[in-house]
Amino acid sequence: MNGYIFIVMAFIIESVWETLKNIVVKGKVSKDRVGTIIIALVVVFVSNIDIIDFFGVNMRYGVGKILTAILISRGSNFTHDLVSLISNEYQYRKSNNVD
């Protein structure tokens, strides 16, 4: 595992935390935030998407998929940033012949 993966994982963890802490704001549950997470969970589990597994980190009990769903629930701007990180990782692996 190279150092780049640690940076990506730190980005993912911070993003998940930012999403989760905004579920309850001023004592009220954000229906929009909960709704997008539920929809993302359904999409991720049905389509078998796991961003954590992409980076070679194998998590048990579907934790990678849950984290992926929370990330996807953040929307297109965030997803664009994440895709950029993944693209950079792919180019790094390709140019350095890393599996």
**What residue segments make up the domains of the chain, in order of their start?**
3-94
Q: What is the pLDDT of residue 76?
A: 76
DSSP letters, the chain, are --HHHHHHHHHHHHHHHHHHHTSEETTEE-HHHHHHHHHHHHHHHHHT--HHHHTT---STTHHHHHHHHHHTT-HHHHHHHHHHHHHHHHHHHHHT--
Confidence of residue 63 (pLDDT cuts 50, 70, 90): very high
Taking CB atoms within 8 Å and a gap of at least 24, the contacts of 33-36 are: 33/73, 36/73, 36/75
Whole-angstrom distance, CA of residue 15 vs CA of residue 78: 9
**pLDDT tens-digit readout, 24-53:** 988 999 999 999 999 999 999 999 999 888
**Which stretch, 5-9, 34-38, 72-76, 95-99, has highest mean pLDDT?**
34-38
pLDDT at 1 over 70: no
Task: State percent of the chain over pLDDT 70.
Answer: 94
